[in-house]
Amino acid sequence: AQTVTQSQPEMSVQEAETVTLSCTYDTSESDYYLFWYKQPPSRQMILVIRQEAYKQQNATENRFSVNFQKAAKSFSLKISDSQLGDAAMYFCAYLTNDYKLSFGAGTTVTVRA
Amino acid sequence: ETGVTQTPRHLVMGMTNKKSLKCEQHLGHNAMYWYKQSAKKPLELMFVYNFKEQTENNSVPSRFSPECPNSSHLFLHLHTLQPEDSALYLCASSQAGAAYEQYFGPGTRLTVT
């Protein structure tokens, strides 16, 4: 089974500043998909961003961007211009070849006003 | 209703009770999933259904019994649970056999007393 590691249990960021969440994974596959999900205190998990491993270009979605380093098996998420609504738990996830998601333990992001 | 809905949102049950969790998706998807989310642990995939057929049982104890009568509905029947089964149970749906993201419901917070 693929292992996804998020080494930062908690991160704090000042409003309007930038925070980067780290994620590493272990795989022997060459083609796969990576995701970042956000789970606000209301608990509904929503997709933030998606990256296809065959694409060299890093995915970007408004204030959210990733730094995908395939050789290093690293997939970090950068949140720019942080807003109070960004406060949530963020999960990194790997999609296996049989279409099952493997999740990291999550990083809780706190945004200071 | 839109997206993925789950009922009840909160459930307290004794170890000898029998109860059921319900999930419904309004997205036209054909794959549905049950996950268990415990504190400080990654999400654990429990069951996967593709086109109403169970394709994954991730070594889940038999006191959890899933049912998928059609592509839009998924149930998790619970009986003789243990206190360690207390957790947030999340349902998700997606298109089967494709690297599309999964859409999650708000979850059922289960407490076993």
Apex CA A48: angle with CA A31 and CA B99, to 5°?
30
Overall average pLDDT of the B13-18 stretch = 90
Secondary structure letter of residue B101 according to DSSP: P
Query: pLDDT tens digits, chain A, 113 residues: what are they?
Result: 668 999 999 999 999 999 999 999 999 888 899 999 999 987 789 999 999 998 889 999 999 999 999 999 999 999 999 999 999 999 999 998 777 889 999 999 999 99
In this complex, the residue of B42, B94, B105 whose CB is nearest that of residue A105 is: B42
A55 touches chain B (CB under 8 A): no
- Selection from A89, A85, A44, A90 nearest residue B9 by Cα: A44
Q: B4: part of which helix (H) or strand (E)?
A: strand B4-7
The confidence score (pLDDT) of residue B54 equals: 82
CB atoms closer than 10 angstroms to residue B98:
10
How far is the C-alpha of B45 from the C-alpha of B40, rounded, in Å? 15
From chain A, pick out residues whose CB is under 8 angstroms from the CB of B105. Answer: 44
- How far apart are the C-alpha atoms of B95 and B62, rounded to whole Å? 27
Cβ contact, residue pair B99, A95, below 8 Å: yes
- Indicate the SS3 state at residue B5: strand
The whole-number pLDDT of residue B37 equals 94
Instruction: Quick: pLDDT tens for B27-39.
Output: 999 999 999 999 8
Overall average pLDDT of the B83-92 stretch = 95
Best of A101, A102, A107, A108 to disrupt the B interface (most B CBs within 10 Å) is A101
Q: What is the mean pLDDT of residues B38-48?
A: 88
Report how far apart, in Å, the C-alpha atoms of B97 and of each of A32, A37, A55, A82 are: 13, 20, 20, 35
| Cross-chain Cβ contact B106/A42 below 8 Å | yes
Contact B92, B105 (CB under 8 A): yes
CB contact under 8 A, A52 and B99: yes
- Checking if the pLDDT of B102 tops 80, the result is yes
Residues of chain B in contact with residue A104, where contact means CB-CB under 8 angstroms, are: 42
Q: How confident is the model at residue B1, as a pLDDT? A: 58
- Of B9-18, B78-87, B90-99, B101-110, where does mean pLDDT reach its minimum? B90-99
Residues 6+ apart with CB under 8 A from A103: A4, A37, A91, A92, A93, B42, B43
Chains A–B, number of C-beta pairs less than 8 Å apart: 44
**Residue B2 pLDDT greater than 90, yes or no:** no
Q: Identify the pLDDT of residue A96.
A: 81
- Eight-state DSSP code of residue A85: G
- Rg (chain A; Cα; Å): 13
Tell me the one-letter amino acid at A33: Y
Give the one of B40, B98, B106 whose C-beta lies nearest to A105's C-beta.
B40
